[in-house]
Amino acid sequence: MNLSRRMRQWALRRHPRVHSLTLTQNRIYILPTRAGLWYLVTALIILLLGINYENNLVYGASFLLLSLFVLSILHTYGNLAGLTITALTARPCLVGEQAEFELLLRAGSRRDYEAIQLSWADQAPVSCDLIGDSERRVRLYAEAPERGWWRPGVLLIETLYPLGLLRAWTWLETDLRALAWPRPLTGDSLPGSGGIDGRGEVLQGRGSDDFVGLEAYQRGMSPRHIAWKQLAAGQGLHAKQFGDHADEQLWLDWTLWPELDVESRLSRLCYWALKLSRERLEYGLRLPGREIAPGRGSRHRHDVLRALALFGKETQNR
């Protein structure tokens, strides 16, 4: 385990998970960057040359460089001090996709903040400024590793402002968590749907339920399907075409695909829930120990997907 990770774990053990936090001196860490270290080495070499040659001009140059370094410490620290970070919302997503997390940054009293970077662990940072604004909303993204509730990890807040000689940072564990739905598994047809295909459309054929149109009569067709009115009107010989329409209320049942394992069944059910929602059809869900009555709309879709995401994980801690 490298030094950075050990330091992060040590820092996080000192502070619990929070919803909102204002950064103060006990949460901000500051160290020179690699450029800052070389800057210090250069300033010290110049100082040694001034001592060796007793040259006042070289003395002045070394003191100026060291003074700039000290001032950079104050400005870099001040670019985080007083900043308030508040966790707002987390939006659900499918497993393997990016979930969106929203944070609110609020500036301290009459202060500006520049070049602040925020990122989850091992994720690309997002840079933002608070200049003339008292607050700003920031959206961060992280990939969902598995279905159910999950947390994006540790939030890193850092800045190299103003000269890049020093890095001030802090780690923060928020109370944000996102819900990951199962990854959809495509299914060619819905068993027992009465003719719903992989595109969620009604399959047409020679059923007996509803008249759907006319087609050219071909040898071998039943005489009962001949469109006699059209024939009498001189429109030629046609046959009536009927379609078997699926019941508008469909059930997504756990027992529909017995050959699949648990995760694959949930993924297949997720696929059809999304498909039927887009087709605006009513559908219900039956899981072992759980049943959701048929319905439609975004609220119903959310309830179904939530049930699929938390199946077998209802006791998962918040």
pLDDT at residue 193, as a whole number = 55
pLDDT at residue 314, as a whole number = 66
Domain with 228, as residue range(s), is: 211-243
With a cut of 50, list the residues of the chain below it in pLDDT: 194-195, 197-208, 244-247, 317-318
pLDDT at residue 79, as a whole number = 94
169 and 257, same domain (yes or no): no
314 and 272, same domain (yes or no): yes
pLDDT at residue 160, as a whole number = 95
230 and 266, same domain (yes or no): no
> Per the structure, how many domains does the chain have?
3
> Strand 249-253's sheet: what is its strand order?
249-253, 282-287, 290-295
260 and 144, same domain (yes or no): no
253 and 167, same domain (yes or no): no
255 and 194, same domain (yes or no): yes
143 and 265, same domain (yes or no): no
pLDDT at residue 237, as a whole number = 74
67 and 188, same domain (yes or no): no
20 and 99, same domain (yes or no): yes
230 and 300, same domain (yes or no): no
> Which of 190, 221, 243 marks a domain boundary?
243
12 and 87, same domain (yes or no): yes
91 and 193, same domain (yes or no): no
pLDDT tens-digit profile of 18-55? 889 999 998 999 999 999 999 999 999 999 998 888 88
